Amino acid sequence: MFGVAALLLASAAAALAPPAHAVKPTAQGWWRTSINVLGIDLTALIDPSTVDVPADGLLVMGGQAANQPQAIAAVAYTVDGDVAGPLRLLPHAATATVPGSGAMACPLDNPTFKAVQGGLIADAPKYDCLGAVTATVDATDAYVFDVTTLVRDNVVAVAILPTSTTSRIVFAAPADDSLPVRLLAPEPVAAAPAPAPAAADAAAAGVAPITGQVEAATIAAPSNQNAPAAVASPAPALATVAASASPPSRGSAGRAFALLALALVAGLAWTLTGRRAASRP
């Protein structure tokens, strides 16, 4: 059960993975030692070892010591993704390649170099063979290099060196499919956020939704129609009460004054009468 599930997952991942394709080198070249006589380079005239190298081919040849090759080559590839297979270089058919010759790939110190066919080895790009990759030979006699560990900043730039003093390989021009790569999958485009329910309802009703940017001019004071009713002033009620408590009329005041005067006169008369009676013998 688990084996079937793993197989299905692997199949799905392979189906979703970007397809692999191959690339050709962005630069290639080879360099050789020179034969100088009185400061004149006579290699092309005296050394017949380079006459069978095609104009766009590559020569790799051992020298007097393992660390002193007589000819080396270099290739560079731009990899926009991942390396999906080995680097394959085919020997040219009509050349004097020594059977059993070995080759290895060493990363270049600088991936940018001037492409030269048969330049002086002193001008060859510098390399470091720490972590070098030794080639194997497949059924088609192609030299196969696993360069997956030699990718530097999306570039595969390597020097091709002989592995022995007797090695001699004349490679044909690297093919357009000499290095398989797999492009990176494009990043998914983020989906647009769904509109808010209120905005969606407003759009369905044909009303322009509120964008949330309210201009200052649109914020107006509430109209008089919407203003709360003013509380009635108590002044009219007080005036009514004051009016109802008006002072007594002049007629009422006169009658009260007359009664008070009569009371005073009666009291005075009574007092005088009492005194007169008391004074008689």
Q: 134 with 102: CB under 8 angstroms?
A: yes
Between 77 and 45, residue with greater pLDDT: 77
Q: What is the DSSP string of 171-236?
A: EPPPPTTSEEEEEPPPPPPPPPPPPPHHHHHHHHTT-PPP-S---GGG--PPPTTTSPPPPPPSHH
pLDDT at 164: 96
Beta-carbon contacts of 97 under 8 Å, excluding residues fewer than 6 positions away, are 91, 168, 169, 170
Both tokens of residue 225?
């129609």
Q: 118 with 71: CB under 8 angstroms?
A: no
Tens digits of per-residue pLDDT, 234-269? 444 444 433 444 444 455 555 665 666 666 666 666
Total-model pTM: 0.59
Q: Which of 11-20, 93-102, 129-138, 235-244 has the lowest mean pLDDT?
A: 235-244
Tens digits of per-residue pLDDT, 181-236? 987 666 566 666 666 655 555 555 565 555 555 444 444 444 455 544 444 444 44
Q: What is the distance between the alpha carbons of residues 208 and 227, in angstroms, rounded to a whole number? A: 28
pLDDT at 40: 72
pLDDT at 216: 44
Confidence of residue 154 (pLDDT cuts 50, 70, 90): very high
